[in-house]
């Protein structure tokens, strides 16, 4: 009795039309901006490439997209050192929780850091920026839902942290970032972040992911972080 040949083993993530996905998401972001009465040019689409190999990112780079997001310092350094050798215009945003002992690497690889949430980290980043002569834009992450498992300064601690960052450490703080609780309506969290930023004269709001970016754009987001809708599911570790 004949036996069917086994299916060939996969040597990489499933095929995804990254360029087509990117075009669709870009069009959706622009549509959301128009619906909110905003200029789409005010909104930066961060293509979240964390967990994806360079081969999955290359089609987006070839399509002309310049702005990407990573959440692991070592992975970002390894991937983007090679990618930037060919694509020098790529801009990298670090969007994950950041350990203080990784401040040096984060400053070295990132053009923007969305992770400041405590004084020790702010001090470490300021020290590294002075040492390296490099000043990536900084966002303070606010834990709007007061979730104990999540990074971010609590809203009532923002004033003191921001004063330290801007006045004492002279960090280039440009805005605020948040990730609302998964089980809650994100709108009140985005509204709170918008109000906090306005109170402190900050222009940039990093908020909104695949499931809620339209709401974020309606409430003032300047940076939305979208990954799976562009690159597909992340391969298993």
Burial code of 78-113, b = ≥16 C-beta within 10 A, e = fewer? ebbeebeeebeebbbbbbbebeeebbbbbbebbebb
Q: Which residues contact 55 (CB under 8 A, 6 or more apart)?
A: 12
Q: What is the pLDDT of residue 235?
A: 77
Res 232 pLDDT > 80: yes
At 234, the pLDDT band (50, 70, 90 cuts) reads: confident
Radius of gyration of the chain (CA): 19
pLDDT value, residue 13: 54
The two structure tokens encoding residue 40: 């789409």
CA dist 220 and 153 (Å) reads: 20
Q: Give pLDDT, residue 175.
A: 98
Note the pTM of the prediction, 2 decimals: 0.91
Measured between alpha carbons, how far is 29 from 27 in angstroms, rounded to an integer? 5
Q: How confident is the model at residue 147 (pLDDT cuts 50, 70, 90)?
A: very high
Model confidence at 4, pLDDT cuts 50, 70, 90, reads very low
Return mean pLDDT, the chain: 92
- pLDDT for the residue numbered 8: 41
- Cα–Cα distance measured from residue 207 to residue 230, given in angstroms and rounded to the nearest whole number: 17
In this prediction, residue 7 carries a pLDDT of 40
Instruction: Using DSSP, state whether 42 is helix, strand or coil.
Output: helix
| pLDDT tens readout for residues 9-61 | 444 556 889 999 999 999 999 999 999 999 999 999 999 999 999 999 999 99
Instruction: Provide the pLDDT for residue 14.
Output: 61
User: What does the pLDDT look like over 192-201, one tens digit per residue?
Assistant: 999 999 999 9
Average of per-residue pLDDT across 199-217: 95
The 8-class DSSP code of residue 70 comes to E
DSSP state of 74: H
């Amino acid at each position: 009795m004949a036996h069917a040949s086994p299916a060939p083993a996969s040597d990489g993530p499933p095929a995804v039309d990254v360029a087509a996905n990117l075009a669709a998401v870009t069009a959706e972001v622009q549509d959301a901006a128009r619906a909110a009465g905003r200029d789409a040019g005010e909104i930066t689409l961060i293509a979240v490439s964390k967990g994806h190999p360079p081969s999955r990112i290359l089609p987006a780079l070839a399509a002309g997209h310049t702005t990407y997001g990573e959440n692991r310092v070592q992975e970002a350094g390894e991937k983007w050192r090679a990618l930037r050798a060919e694509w020098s215009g790529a801009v990298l945003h670090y969007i994950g929780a950041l350990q203080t002992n990784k401040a040096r690497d984060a400053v070295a690889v990132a053009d923007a850091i969305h992770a400041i949430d405590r004084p020790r980290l702010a001090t470490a980043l300021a020290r590294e920026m002075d040492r390296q002569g490099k000043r990536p834009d900084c966002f303070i992450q606010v834990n709007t839902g007061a979730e104990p498992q999540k990074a971010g300064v609590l809203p009532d601690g923002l004033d003191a942290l921001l004063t330290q960052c801007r006045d004492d450490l002279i960090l280039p703080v440009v805005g605020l970032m948040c990730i609302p609780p998964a089980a809650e309506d994100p709108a009140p969290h985005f509204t709170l972040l918008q109000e906090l930023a306005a109170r402190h004269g900050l222009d940039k709001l990093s908020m909104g992911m695949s499931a809620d970016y339209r709401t974020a754009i309606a409430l003032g987001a300047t940076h939305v972080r979208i990954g799976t809708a562009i690159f597909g599911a992340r391969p298993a570790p």
